[in-house]
Every structure is written in C-alpha cells, then in structure tokens.
Amino acid sequence: MIEAVSCGGLVIHRGKILLLYKNYNNRYEGWVLPKGTVEEGETYEKTALREVKEESGVDGVIVEYIDKTTYSFVVPEDTVSKEVHWYLMRSDSYESCPQQEEYFRDSGYYKYHEAYHLLKFENERAVLEKGYSIYKKLKRLQKWD
C-alpha cells in the first residue's frame, strides 16, 4: 500500500465556486476541485495555495480549514491510499487559466447548485457542502469580504 497526502482548495469569489475540467486521453473526464501532492518540507497550507495557483492560475487566500477526505485507488501492482486536506479560500477575481500540462481543459466559477451537480466525485461534493456552509455562516456574520 502506497500512502499519499494532497491538499486543495474550495475557492469562492462572490458566492461562486472555482471548478476545473480535467480530460486525460478521454479516460479521466470531469469537473474537480484544485488539489495536489504535498512537496517535501511544505506545509499543508502552502501546498493548497500552490496547487490552486498552478492548476487554475488563481491566487487564493486561505480563510479556514474545511476537512480531510480519504480514498484509495489501484495502480499497477499496488493500491494508493490518499488523504486530502481541504481549505476554504477566497479570490478577488473570476479570472482563471487551467493548467493544460496537467490535462485541465477548462475552468470557471459556478453557482453552488451548478458546482454540486458538475463535480465528478462524491467526496468533493461533501467538501463543497461543508465549505459552502462555512462561507454562508461567515457571510452572515459579515466576516467575508
């Protein structure tokens, strides 16, 4: 069993959520949240910010930690067990630029209900639910710019 740790962001601008569309040789296709692997010596927060920037071109600002998700998948001759640490982030623009080298073909900001139905993975929908609930609470308390 291979263990891996990634970090990612639920990025919100004016109530809309950043999603990326990934298409790898038509085998992996769908809308996802930005995330990636922790590099040596890097904090989870720095990883999340770096991955959001690399995959989408967006400069996120961490607001708070959302949750950790876990899943596993099979690779030739082994199984990977992965945990992903998610952060709620804000951005100051709707501009994004998907990282073509990593097979991201599109990106954009979507209303909650659109993002929920577009997301490919159930665990990312759960992150969206929890993170958006935190966002709404902060908005009500006037703690979200």
pLDDT at 26 over 80: no
What one-character-per-residue DSSP string does 40-101 give? TT--HHHHHHHHHHHHH----EEEEEEEEEEEEEEETTEEEEEEEEEEEEE-S-S-----GG
Predicted confidence (pLDDT) at residue 17 exceeds the cutoff of 90:
yes
Q: State the pTM of this model.
A: 0.94
Is residue 101 classed exposed, middle or buried when 0-12, 13-18 and 19+ CB atoms within 10 A define those classes? exposed
Of residues 113 and 104, which shows the higher confidence score? 113
Q: What angle do CA 105, 110, 114 make, to 5 degrees?
A: 100
Mean pLDDT value of segment 14-32: 89
The answer to whether 82 and 68 have CB atoms below 8 angstroms apart is: no
pLDDT for residue 145 is more than 80? no
Q: What is the mean pLDDT of the chain?
A: 95
| The architecture CATH gives domain 2-140 | Alpha-Beta Complex (3.90)
Q: How far apart are CA 13 and CA 104, in angstroms?
A: 20
Q: What percent of the chain has pLDDT over 90?
A: 85
pLDDT digits (tens, 9 = 90+) for 46-84: 999 999 999 999 999 999 999 999 999 898 999 999 999
Instruction: Check residue 6 and give its pLDDT.
Output: 98
pLDDT above 80 (res 28):
no
SS3 label, residue 7: strand
Q: Is the model's pLDDT at 139 over the cut of 90?
A: yes
Residue 102 pLDDT class (50, 70, 90 cuts): confident
